[in-house]
């Protein structure tokens, strides 16, 4: 009988010693997959730019934006003093566009981002300021 008690005590102590090894989280490990955001459609950044009636200024703004990846279209509203840049959010952002615009018109001010007009968001190479960055050329 003492050997039986000794065996039970030994097994119990072995189980207690091994308990910390198995005391961790018992749920199966989740694989960490990066969250991929749903692809957003194009957006339009609106900038207040004075002097848009000057065709040379508009041409220079378009040329500066042609160097930026992700620019889909640009449109000047001379009457309202607004310059709208339609862009792909995954490729550029309003801050980058603002820096490009500020090189041509230092007093330009970023106003807002809005959903792009579906007609403006189409890649029409005849109107696209970023022909160099467009995937069609």
CATH number at residue 85: 3.30.70.100
Residue 47 included in any domain: yes
C-alpha span between 137 and 134 (Å, rounded): 6
Does position 125 have pLDDT exceeding 60, yes or no? no
Residue 78 structural domain: 43-121
Residue 129 included in any domain: no
pLDDT tens digits for 59-99?
999 999 999 999 999 999 999 999 999 999 999 999 999 99
Q: What global pTM score does this model have? A: 0.59
Span 98-106, average pLDDT: 94
Residue 51 included in any domain: yes
Residue 17 included in any domain: no
Residue 80 included in any domain: yes
| pLDDT on residue 14 | 54
> Considering its fold, how many domains does the chain have in total?
1
Residue 81 included in any domain: yes
C-alpha span between 127 and 75 (Å, rounded): 9
């Amino acid at each position: 009988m003492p050997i039986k008690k000794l065996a039970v005590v030994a097994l119990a102590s072995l189980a207690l010693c091994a308990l910390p090894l198995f005391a961790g989280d018992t749920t199966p490990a989740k694989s960490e997959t990066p969250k991929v955001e749903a692809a957003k459609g194009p957006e339009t950044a609106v900038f207040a730019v004075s002097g848009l009636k000057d065709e040379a200024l508009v041409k220079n703004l378009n040329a500066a934006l042609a160097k930026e990846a992700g620019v889909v279209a640009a449109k000047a509203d001379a009457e309202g003093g607004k310059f709208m840049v339609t862009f792909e959010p995954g490729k550029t952002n309003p801050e980058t566009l603002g820096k490009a615009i500020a090189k041509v018109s230092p007093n330009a001010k970023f106003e807002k981002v809005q959903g792009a007009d579906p007609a403006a968001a189409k890649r029409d190479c005849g109107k696209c300021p970023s022909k160099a960055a467009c995937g069609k050329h």
